[in-house]
Amino acid sequence: MSTREEPLVVATLPAKRRSVLRPYVAIARPDHWVKNVFVLPGIIVALSFDKRIPSIPWIAGLLAVCLVASSNYVLNELLDAPFDREHPIKRNRPVPSGQVSAPIAYAEWIALMLAGIALGLTVSHQFAFTLLALWVMGCVYNIPPLRTKDVPYLDVLSEAINNPLRMLAGWYMTGTTATVPVSLLVSYWMVGCYFMAVKRFAEVREINDPFRSAAYRRSFAFYTQDRLLISVMFYGCHAMLFFGAFLMRYRLELVLSFPLVAVVMAAYLALAFKKQSAAQNPEKLYREPLLMASVVACAATMTALFFLNVPLLYRIFTPTAVH
């Protein structure tokens, strides 16, 4: 009898440990690491600017970014718990549902940051400093009294700043000595704002109750669908304006990618009008075939255009004399 029971006891212990650890893994959101794909454009642009770059520390660099991003996610989960309880779906997350010990989670927050910065130092000091800035912005976004997450429009602007910081991380991963174009960083920031504003729009539409929206997130007391759509237009226009400024100065060939960029932005906006939209949960966007196809086509085209010369374009876009 005892010989039959022992294997059962041994088999259940790992499952119990997994059940205890699972909430702490969940609040680090490894499923959100896909967002760190925004590091790759920084690498691609740096390679197009400086072709003498040696081998890139891909694994160390990307893992360092993921660890720092997870540190920010843990803090976000902890400080958002009181508000997530007012959300119809997010109330089931590990922290608001009581599955997580706060002291242990705060230790996880610091440990992930230290591990990410330490790993970043093996890549370069500029790369590690960029990761530190990414972590600091997570604190500014989440921790009172600043907590920019609660301030209308500033919530989008401060969260989307992670986009150019990720681009800078990719840039510094290459070890290039070239200076990153400011116009490209601003465009990348505005693209992030566009995506975040669409996400807010989808959330407001989904909750569809001003009182519950305000209880879930304070900035939502100000937001309406009209205001958010206007901001989406504002961010989209600025993204393309600064992208145009970048390509006119550095890489005119990228003008050929404009139609595909427009398709991606339109496809993403269309998602916000769907019930339980994937725009609210970017980690699920891979389930949207039209969006994914347009993103892949756009990314591949832009990557090629960074390295392919089209002299005809420079003749076409030569300024004409004004008499």
pLDDT per residue over 191-245, tens digit each?
999 999 999 999 999 888 887 777 777 888 899 999 999 999 999 999 999 999 9
pLDDT higher than 80, residue 12: no
pLDDT at 18: 58
pLDDT at 20: 82
In contact, 302 and 184? CB cutoff 8 Å: no
> Among residues of the chain, what percentage have pLDDT more than 90?
66
**Dihedral of alpha carbons 189, 190, 191, 197, sign:** positive
Residues 6 or more apart in contact with residue 91 via CB below 8 angstroms: 84, 85, 97
Measured between alpha carbons, how far is 39 from 68 in angstroms, rounded to an integer?
13
pLDDT at 216: 75
Please state the separation of Cα 196 from the chain's center in Å: 9
Q: Which of 168, 170, 69, 166 is nearest to 117 (CA)?
A: 69
pLDDT per residue over 270-320, tens digit each?
999 988 888 887 777 888 999 999 999 999 999 999 999 999 999 888 877
pLDDT higher than 70, residue 7: no
Span of 50-54, 59-63, 175-179 with lowest mean pLDDT: 50-54
pLDDT higher than 70, residue 124: yes
